[in-house]
Amino acid sequence: MSAARVVDALGTWCPVPIHLIDRAARGAAPGDVIELLADDPLIEVDLPAWCHSSGNELIELRRDGEGYLGRVEVTRPAAGRGGRGSPRDPSPGRSAGG
């Protein structure tokens, strides 16, 4: 398992956080862990739902200051559609602004 990669979705609203982690997961390898920083309260519903539908594993989702920290292990093979700027770019996805 490689070091966790951070997706900063702070200050963005549904559906942007889920788009960002989906993009990152598509560019990741099985076993990679992605940390999602978010402060949209809907993430409490959206992240578990996305993990369920996408087949990735939700390790934890907890309050983190005024926001949330979600940790997801990528369990499915990379779909070759991860995006650094474009959803079609097969190279590893970029984190959300750092």
The reply on whether position 44 binds other proteins by CB under 8 A is no
d(CA 39, CA 8): 10
The reply on whether position 19 binds other proteins by CB under 8 A is yes
Nearest approach in angstroms of CB 73 to other proteins is 18
The reply on whether position 86 binds other proteins by CB under 8 A is yes
Helix or strand (DSSP H, E) at 16 = helix 16-26
The residue among 59, 67, 54 whose CA lies nearest residue 9 is: 67
Determine the length of the chain: 98
d(CA 13, CA 96): 13
The reply on whether position 87 binds other proteins by CB under 8 A is yes
The reply on whether position 90 binds other proteins by CB under 8 A is no
Name the residue nearer to other proteins (CB basis): 44 or 89.
Answer: 89
Residues recognised as catalytic: 14
